[in-house]
Amino acid sequence: MKRLYYTVEKELQSVDYNSGSEETTGNKLVSTYSIVSDNKGIRLEHQFNLDLYNSDNSLEGIKGYLEDNGMYDCEYEFIQI
């Protein structure tokens, strides 16, 4: 089983520059990573990004990307970081 780590970053926009108020735009960026261990050590390696709406299910978006790109040939454990 492969582990795939992911982060979710909601896009913000300034509403009031004087007070520093922000609100979400309705978009989010989902970034995925795997852990690589080689002669350089252990590190996170970026895999791919997804631009989604906040209402989209992040995990379903990741699974869909993997299937669409022929990368769903094994079981994955998904871990949000």
User: Contact 6/79 with Cβ under 8 angstroms?
Assistant: yes
Helices (H), 1-81: 58-68
Q: pTM of this prediction?
A: 0.85
Tell me which residue has tokens 């990004």: 49
Instruction: Provide the pLDDT for residue 63.
Output: 94
How do residues 8-40 score in pLDDT, each as one tens digit?
Answer: 999 999 888 788 889 999 999 999 999 999 998
Report pLDDT for 74: 83
Per the rule left: phi > 0, alpha: psi between -120 and 50, beta: everything else, 76 is beta
CA-based nearest residue to 31, from 55, 51, 53: 51
Place of tokens 């791919």: 48
Q: Which pLDDT tens digit goes with each residue over 51-63?
A: 999 999 999 999 9
